[in-house]
Amino acid sequence: MPAKSKVLEFYNEKLKHFLANKKGDEFQNFFEMVMLKRFPRDFDNVCPWGKEGDEKCDGILASDGTLFQVYGPEKFDKTKANAKIRKDFQGALNKWAGKFPTWVFVHNNFGGLPSDVMKTILELRLANPAIKIEPWGPEKLWEVAIEPLTYRQLEAIFGSPLTWSDLGDVDFEHYKVILQKIGERIKVETIEEIESVPRDKIKINQLSPTSEILLKSAFGQIKSVEIFIKNYPIDPTLGERVAVALNNKYQELKEERLSPDYIFAELLSFTTTGDNVYLAAALIVMAYFFESCDIFEASIG
């Protein structure tokens, strides 16, 4: 079994990839599953019932009455988030008055809340000094509820960690599935010359040590992706289409001002499908296009 610290590094990265696919009810279900594993005798999830729904409560810590409201939109919008916070907090006051000392707004936006949304939180704190109001993003959820879990609990949530064996099990059939999945998103008529990768590209893009480890673990096998693309007779434009599709997705994510690590996780989610061997194949494919400068920045500025 890998050391717990290494497992945590992998699962911290996996959380970003995981939440890229968990929106709406799926994000709420994920939150409930994590909380029930972390606080099995304390956390109570609230089931919507009839006309009353969940009465502006997605879960409660029985020990201290902390009330949770979960928000996991497909795309984070500060105007909608502000409206959601105000509506849900007021609803909680109406339905649960005097029963909760702490109100937690759980959201899926990595890197924290925009300043306009934090202003709403601060306004509610000033107007309701008797209630502790907290935002919980993925980082806080990791710190409070996921990091303390046992290896078996982490594996039950996220699956087994990626191993060297998974990387070694990747073959051309895995590349075919991954590359076709990406390539079918776009058609390319022209080919642009690919730049060589700077040696310090990982540092330029401010990727975390965990993302760096994942990329470097895949660099040793990127030649096999090149061989597959050059010798794939069914679709000679596959490599070009994949490069453009990945670059388009990268630019889209960059415009959202997401952190480099979350962009990395979103791209991995965009690329992968299936089990750990396919995840390994997707990682090798990403490393190939990272090195060829189709995704992420080649220089500062």
What are the b/e assignments for 186-203, b being 16+ CB within 10 Å? bebeeeeeeeeeeeebbe
Q: Which of 148, 105, 138 is nearest to 21 (CA)?
A: 138
The lowest-confidence range among 94-98, 133-137, 160-164, 229-233 is: 160-164
| Dist. CA 271–CA 204, nearest whole Å | 23
Question: Tell me, what's the pLDDT at 185?
Answer: 61
pTM of the model: 0.69
Q: Name the CA dihedral angle for 260, 263, 267, 268, rounded to a multiple of 10 degrees.
A: 70
Report the phi/psi class of residue 128: left, alpha or beta, with left for phi > 0 and alpha for psi in -120 to 50: beta
Q: 15-48, pLDDT tens digit by residue?
A: 877 777 788 889 999 999 999 999 999 999 886 5
For residue 50, the model assigns a pLDDT of 42
Half-sphere exposure of residue 77: CA atoms within 13 angstroms, side-chain side: 7
Triad 8, 157, 63: Cα angle to 5°:
90
Q: Considering only CA atoms, which of 139, 107, 117 is closest in space to residue 261?
A: 139
How far is it, in rounded angstroms, from Cα 157 to Cα 33?
Answer: 8
Closest C-alpha among 293, 289, 274 to residue 170? 274
CA-nearest of 209, 222, 199 to 286 is: 222
Q: Is the pLDDT of residue 202 over 60?
A: no
Domain boundaries, the chain: 4-157, 162-291
Q: Is the dihedral of CA 20, 285, 214, 210 positive or negative?
A: negative
* Closest by CA position to 295, among listed 182, 175, 164, 176: 182
Q: Does domain 4-157 have CATH number 3.40.91?
A: yes
Of the candidate ranges 24-38, 81-95, 142-156, 245-259, the one whose mean pLDDT is the lowest: 245-259
pLDDT at 24: 87
